[in-house]
Chain A
Amino acid sequence: MTSQGTYSITRRSALAGLAAGSAALAMPALVRAQGESIRIGFPTPLTGPFAAEAKDQVKSAELAVKLVNDKGGIAGRKVELLVRDDKLNAGEAATRTLELIEKDKVHAVVGALSSAVQLAVNEVTRARGVIYVSISQSDTINEVKDFSRFTFHEALNPHMTTAAVAKHTFKPGSKIAYLVADYAYGHEMLRGFKRAQAAIGATSVGEILHPFGAADYSTFMPQLRAMRPDILCICNFGRDQANAIKQAVDFGMNRQSKIVVPVLLHNQRLAVGPEAFEGVVGGANYYWGLEDTIPSAKAFNDAFKAANGGAYPTDYGAYGFTGVSSLLLAMAAAGGPDTDKVVAALEKLQYDVAKGPQHYRACDHQSVQSVLVLESKKKAEMKNEADLFKILAIEPAAESILRTCSELGFPA
């Protein structure tokens, strides 16, 4: 017999689900856009597997808007956030973005979580000269093909996270095996890790591509075990990552190898539990534990907790905050929502709103920022329910961890 509470759906999480459900039901129809307000569109996947991340994004974005409005708005105008459900579907996202631009006449768009959705939103906004601050991780959007002067990328990209994670886990001579989701984002993560691997002097003992969205990874495990790696690099995201890690641990992979991932997600770790994730190392844009060393993180945590009944902000949630905040700071500097002026202000902006200094690089508008390297804690080490990770290192904000402008296809 297992001890009480091991299988904890816990009434709390069930109740939280119920509460979220009824809150959503009770949500009033969207407030009509006021003529005088500054309107920001915010597509995010409120339905689907990343709903938890999306809700955190919305809460944080709303917080950013509230903080500005409390101080009187921008140039005397209130800021309004128009949240739309993109359903994690690129076509839906493009449609919603068209509506936001054509009907709601938004001044800028912030948002998206999946790479495909972000690229779809970007295609719509750039054709119409609307500023878009993407908060979805991707290397593709930095490249010249998808870039426009209206496109800003607030999120980290796989190149940055893999570089930081590799730096703190790979050693000269380490044997590394890769399990990679077979789609653009997976390939981007693999490319980043392999570049770091070569620089550090580690060796690859094998790469296995798995179909995107697979639920079972057992058929890959015997091969991975046979490779006898020191480090198993799992290059996928979300549910794929959760299942792959859990099954790797079931097969005892964690006993012979260290498991490393490009991105550790707060909510995925909650969804899988501490046992499977114990000792897994990965990158992140934000973790609330930053508050011990960074004052802006402390301020963000406090404001977020005050506004959300003591809940801690998460990684993707923080993107909602930093993304909207940077845009609003630029609008304030530009004295209003005029697109050309705001673009110029964003390009000049130096901001520190939650995680230390950040700025947008001139050529590709990538936000240059720190990358956190986190390790998932043992259950016994957790001080509270949100105490999930140990910060192993903070890779400081520097353009040197980005791909060069010429590599991305920008003219020198």
Chain B
Amino acid sequence: MDAELIAMQLFSGVALGAIMIMVALGLSIIFGMLGVVNFAHGALFMVGAYAGLWIASLTGSFWWGLLIAPLAVGALGMLIERVLIRPLYKRSVDDPLLLTFGLGYVLVEAVRILFGSDGIPFPTPPQLAGVADLGIGFFPIYRLFVVGVVALTLLLLWLGLEKTKFGLIVRAGAKDPQIMRVLGVDIATVWLLVFGLGVALTALGGVLAAPMRNVNPEMGSLVLAEAFVVTVIGGMGSLVGAVVAGLLVGVAISMTALFAPEMATIVMFALMALVLLVRPQGLFGKPTRA
């Protein structure tokens, strides 16, 4: 077990965490602002991958798929918020959770009807095919690209939240929606946009993941479980938490893969259970209100 291999393993853990971060961020933003636990998030990840594939096949270019699919699926997200979720805000927190659970079923089956139950190949874009020598070992260029895109997205998101008026409203709204309403902010529109943003992020994750994993209607279910783990460890609603926990889970999985590979999935849930028992609100979460 040499140092190079361990360094390589650490790096692949970070790269693995990158995709989890994309999905978990959307989940966390939606929960933090709207108080909605979106159980359809994994299905929307899958829809993102299919949308990317569909657009890529229409235009003949991966890049259009990467650009347009998140926007299109984000728009679908806004439609979902407007039609299905908005009527539930006055009710218990469980209702949107249950509704999106059913929505997940519908989306998966709709994709099966439209595109068939088998997977569809999604080749790596040729500009990004091949492996790069990192000095410590070889790594697929495409995966390096994914890490780059995620980092860029995080930067833009951070700038958007810290430096724009919309970001200010979002941050304030997450703390206290009541005050925002009193101040005359149209909170309904903010929530609509935030839901759309969260969904667009997971759809972007889906398009990015597609060339690594191919696309199939069930690809979202495992991703959903991972995203829950990451969000809960990081603290539901905390964006910093989602990023830190994503990296933590990625590295935990890659290190387990080195020493006890068959435990690589179980370690994720064990970590989550552990964090919850020691710190129920997650690493960066706000303590729960009674």
Interface residues of A (CB under 8 A from B): 1-10, 13-14, 16-18, 20-21, 47-49, 51-52, 182, 208-211, 213-216, 218-223, 225-226, 239, 242-243, 246-247, 250-252, 267-268, 270-273, 275-276
Contact = CB atoms under 8 A, between A and B. Distances in A.
B125 to A, nearest CB: 6
Given A270-B118, A271-B121, A218 B60 contact: no
Given A7-B65, A7-B123, A239-B216, A17 B114 contact: yes
Contact of A7 (B5, B16, B60, B119): B60
A242 B121 CA distance: 10
B131 interface: yes
Contacts of B114: 14, 17-18, 21
Contacts of A3: 60
A13 B12 contact: no
Contacts of B65: 7
Contacts of B16: 216, 218-219
Contacts of B126: 2, 6
Contacts of A247: 212-213
B123 A10 contact: no
A246 B265 contact: no
The 6 closest A-B pairs by CB, nearest first: A273-B121, A17-B116, A51-B117, A7-B56, A271-B119, A219-B257
Interface of B: 5, 8-9, 12-13, 15-16, 53-54, 56-57, 60-62, 65, 112-126, 130-131, 137-140, 142-143, 212-214, 216, 218-219, 222-223, 253-254, 257-258, 261-266
A243 B124 CA distance: 13
Contacts of B142: 250
Given A2-B62, A3-B60, A7-B53, A246 B212 contact: yes
Among B56, B60, B253, max chain A CB count under 10 A is at B60
Nearest to B218: A49
Given A48-B117, A219-B254, A252-B130, 6 more contacts: A21-B114, A215-B219, A219-B9, A222-B137, A251-B131, A276-B121
A52 B216 CA distance: 12
Contact of B258 (A13, A223, A250): A223
A404 B142 CA distance: 48
A215 B213 contact: yes
Contacts of A16: 116
Contacts of A9: 53-54, 57, 115, 120
Given A2-B125, A49-B218, A219-B257, A251 B140 contact: yes
A236 to B, nearest CB: 12
A6 B268 CA distance: 36
Nearest to B131: A252
A222 B9 contact: yes
16 contacts: A4-B60, A5-B57, A6-B60, A18-B114, A21-B113, A48-B117, A51-B118, A210-B257, A210-B264, A211-B264, A211-B265, A214-B265, A215-B222, A216-B212, A223-B257, A271-B118
A83 B12 CA distance: 45
A5 B218 contact: no
A395 to B, nearest CB: 28
Contacts of B257: 208, 210, 219-220, 223
Contact of B214 (A51, A218, A271): A271
A85 to B, nearest CB: 12
B266 A211 contact: yes
A18 B115 CA distance: 7
Contacts of A8: 57
A219 B61 contact: no
B115 A272 contact: no
Contacts of A6: 60, 123, 126
A4 B59 CA distance: 8
B57 A10 contact: yes
A411 B16 CA distance: 51
Among B121, B139, B223, max chain A CB count under 10 A is at B121
Given A7-B56, A214-B264, A216-B16, A47 B117 contact: yes
A5 B117 contact: no
Contacts of A225: 137-138
A282 B117 CA distance: 24
Contacts of A220: 257, 261
